[in-house]
Amino acid sequence: MNGVSYGFLRRLLGTLKALPLSRRPGKQRLTWWLPAFPMERAVVRCVPAEPKLSVSIVLQDGKTRHVHRDQTEPLGQALARIANNVSKGHAKKAKKSKKTQTETESGAPGTPSELVPVRLFSQDGEAVAEDVPNQEAWKDGSVLQIGETRYRVERNPPTLTELQLPRSLMAGFPVCPKLQVEFGSARDCLFRWYYEQKIEPAETASAATSNSWVEAPAGSERVFMPTNAQIGSRLKLVCIPGSSERRYGLPREAESVGPVEAGPGACTFEARHLYTKKVAVPGLIRMVSYNILADIYARTELSRTVLYPYCAPYSLELDYRQNLLKKELAGYNADIICLQEVDKSVFVDSLGPALDAFGLEGLFRIKERQHEGLATFYRRDKFRLLSQHDIAFNQALLEDPLHRELRDKVATCPQVEESLLKRSSALQVSVLQSQNDSSRKICVANTHLFWHPKGENIRLIQVAIALSHIKHVINDMYPGTPLILSGDFNATPSTGTYTFVNSGSITEDHESWDSEVKEQRFAMSLTHQFGLKSACGEPAYTNYVGGFHGCLDYIFIDANVLEVEQVIPLPSHEEVTTHQALPSVSHPSDHIALICDIKWK
């Protein structure tokens, strides 16, 4: 390794071994340069659901040995295998270094080395009997002795199973690693960031340019913000996995594929961040709803040539848009975020880890037969999740007795029924409870209705199913709980869908029931119990593309219980149209996020 040497990590591990297991103050940091502790580590992974355990040790030559044994076999057999593996390594090394001398003197290879003695001792220094099963013998804190070297056994310490940096890095945009931790959590890991510094030939004895890794200022947090000074440099992250019990595992490092690049300049959301610099005070809920434009739609030939021909091809690339999106969402300091058109891979690999680092827990609902869906995030220190009640509209209509009347009515119009059942639209319902006041609960619903301009009758049926389902959740399980219903409704304020949600009813003679196939006209009167109002009003548009602009997105709140404290202004028309339309080099989606602060009356 360049810069972050193996010796450095060994010293670092020594520091961790010396740490007590008691809880340290939250803001205290490890001293990364303390001298090494004399005992090495033997890492044992033993999971009851798996038949084998593993023992991993680093030998004096720096090589790692892994031994996998049945949990039920006697300890003596595992120790014999370790001894055999270590002795083979010693023999190979000796044979390689003395091969010429041995063949010259005797005409034959040298004799193999004797087995290195290997013993396991308990914490009180007693030798563990060799007939004890492995699963009972390898206890945390026991000592493995190989020859003269002693290893402290650490059973199931926090372990990084994945550590990866994003492919695209931009100055001024947050970089958050994707990591998976076994026996620990990402929130308890320790981080150290480095950037690559080129050393010119004149500064070294070598004629070639070389590189070294330099510790980045303010580089000890999970999220790192590259500066303009680091443009052109790659990044490296050294991560030590940790747990809430203040146990720490072996460090691991990841290097970026490419260098930090310059950002796009001013983005459409930066002026909005001036209103959301801090997390909303207790009692307020900052709510965001946003269709983020799924990658599976953005990268099609239709998108590049017909829908968004004005958009620079590189700014439709997922990695580029994710940089903008993570900065935008992080800057809103939201308590609840409802997203639509979220690719499954984006949730798992990008947005989930990034927003987790900013204190938000994520929930995902994929659409049937699709690779995208809905995501709801909530701030962990403000809310805890009580329950989830997600549905697919087509499946709920067919199977849930709640919708029998509607199902029987729809069945009288086969073409409408067929169109409805083919749609993969879904509803995500999450019931949250305040961390500060357990009497305060809130039902958060997130949806994305059918998109077709001629599909208003389908959207009306979908939203009727949604409100009936939510009524059941609230009335039967959480009486009196207020509702926030948000999402991309694909309906302007003049449509029946908006009228129904916002006013509480729609008549069967409303023009939105009309279908292209007149003989298949489906219509019925609908009502719902919720006093819902659009928290952000009726903006001129929330979707702005080359051939269309209009208001399609809403945050509806229960006006009987909740009220709006403030609405964050949308970007100006000049900002939206700087690059003709959306998306653009300065805006990651064809929609605009809705943001408002809500409070209980």
In order of start, what are the domains of the chain with their CATH numbers?
40-88+116-155 (3.10.20), 159-198+211-255 (2.60.40.2700), 269-600 (3.60.10.10)
Strand intervals (E) in 323-420? 336-343, 360-366, 372-379, 383-388, 391-392
**Would you say residue 102 has pLDDT above 70?**
no
Q: Which two tokens stand for residue 417?
A: 């029924």
Comparing 117-121, 518-522, 544-548, 579-583, the range with the smallest average pLDDT is 518-522
**Would you say residue 38 has pLDDT above 70?**
no
Strand intervals (E) in 344-452? 360-366, 372-379, 383-388, 391-392, 426-434, 441-448
The larger pLDDT score, comparing residue 28 to residue 366, is at 366
Active site residues: 488
At 514, the pLDDT band (50, 70, 90 cuts) reads confident
Put residue 463 in one of left, alpha, beta given phi > 0 → left and psi -120 to 50 → alpha.
Answer: alpha
Cβ-contact 14, 36 below 8 angstroms: yes
pLDDT digit string, tens, across residues 411-422: 999 999 999 999
Burial class (CB in 10 A: 0-12, 13-18, 19+), 207: exposed
Residue 584: strand pairing partners: 587
The backbone torsions φ and ψ at residue 48, rounded to the nearest 5 degrees and listed phi first, read -55, -35
- Omega before residue 166 within 30° of 0, cis: no
pLDDT digit string, tens, across residues 156-166: 999 999 999 99
**Residue 581: half-sphere exposure toward Cβ, Cα within 13 Å:** 17
Helix (H) or strand (E) holding 471: helix 456-477
pLDDT digit string, tens, across residues 378-429: 999 999 999 999 999 999 999 999 999 999 999 999 999 999 999 999 999 9
Kindly report the pTM of this predicted structure. 0.85
